[in-house]
Amino acid sequence: MKVLVTGANGFVGAAVCKKLLDRGDYVRGLVRKTSDLSLLKGLNVDLEVVSLNDKEALASVVKDIDVVYHVAAAVGDWGSLEWFREINVYATRRLMELSAAAGVKRLVYVSSVAVHSFIDAQDMDETAPQNPTPFPYCQSKREAEEVVRAFHQKGGMETVIIRPGDVYGPGDRTSLLKMAPMLEKGLLLLIDNGRTLGAFTYVENLADGILLGGLHPAAAGDTFIITDGIKMSWKEYFDRLCSALDLPHPRLSLKPGFVRALARCMESLHRSLRLKQRPFITCYLAEHLCSDFHFSVEKAATVLGYSPAVTVDEAITATSRWYREAVRGEKK
């Protein structure tokens, strides 16, 4: 099978590429001029340096492709709605139109459980509330999903939506590497003693779920949440990780009310001063960590046969091994 992976160099995209190559597929990877290609080292991916905004070049990239895995996205808890829309909504629509015109059979759109509201709940599923949101990232992902669903309903091309949870694992250059200085010094702060549940999703388990979205006949036109299917608090996650790294466990904690108030103040300050950089704490992050945000994977298990292949213990071990190499420069 011939496939295209957008955002191929990213944390999730690289994991998807590896799984596809292991299957024996031809993999074409879409990357930007400024992309860090280190996670693709040693992988036989046919790289195309093309912007999702370049319609002519994009039309050439999707030729002779059977399935598109659209992983590329603007991800974050800070930024304007228009910026998020440009990448997550408009570029997605452009890619879908060109893919359909080129005869692509199916497009798998990698969304996020962030389309759901922070209602402090457990075992949520694909029908969980999507209340009005003040968060641009969440809104853009909702709008992108609407575009994807509408395209399928019009019969232009099969589409599948995958909603990952909180992704972790080897190659996490965004969250884990940024936390490294605090972890190393034992200064990582928990919120409410880390009691809330997260939607933990090991990157290789997610990649398996994404591939099921591209390959399973029953996936067409549907939406699936993919996580590790476990109940684990943020405290347990960091305790496990710190134990594996021989680091002191986080002991400092802030009250949810204080964190929410601090986030509002920081965002207000940044907006009033027109600061472009992200505040060190945002309202999105505060709501996320102050609430249970846990999901069931029953639908993916029932319809697609999804079952996380990597256990939490195995995932933490692999993550800590990568961390030691990436942060401390330790050799295998």
Q: Which H helix or E strand runs over 106?
A: strand 106-110
Beta pairing class for 189-191 and 158-164: unpaired
Contact 239, 249 (CB under 8 A): yes
Q: pLDDT tens digits for the chain (332 residues)? A: 999 999 999 999 999 999 999 999 999 999 999 999 999 999 999 999 999 999 999 999 999 999 999 999 999 999 999 999 999 999 999 999 999 999 999 999 999 999 999 999 999 999 999 999 999 999 999 999 999 999 999 888 999 999 999 999 999 988 998 899 999 998 999 999 999 999 999 999 999 999 999 999 999 999 999 999 999 999 999 999 999 999 999 999 999 999 999 999 999 999 999 998 999 899 999 999 999 999 999 999 999 999 999 999 999 999 999 999 998 888 76
- Taken in order of first residue, the domains within the chain and their CATH numbers are 2-169+199-229+295-308 (3.40.50.720)
Nearest residue to 171 via CA among 17, 2, 4: 17
- Stated pTM of the model: 0.96
Token duo for residue 66? 């059977």
Residue 224 host element (H or E) = strand 223-226
Cα distance between residue 254 and residue 261, in whole Å? 12
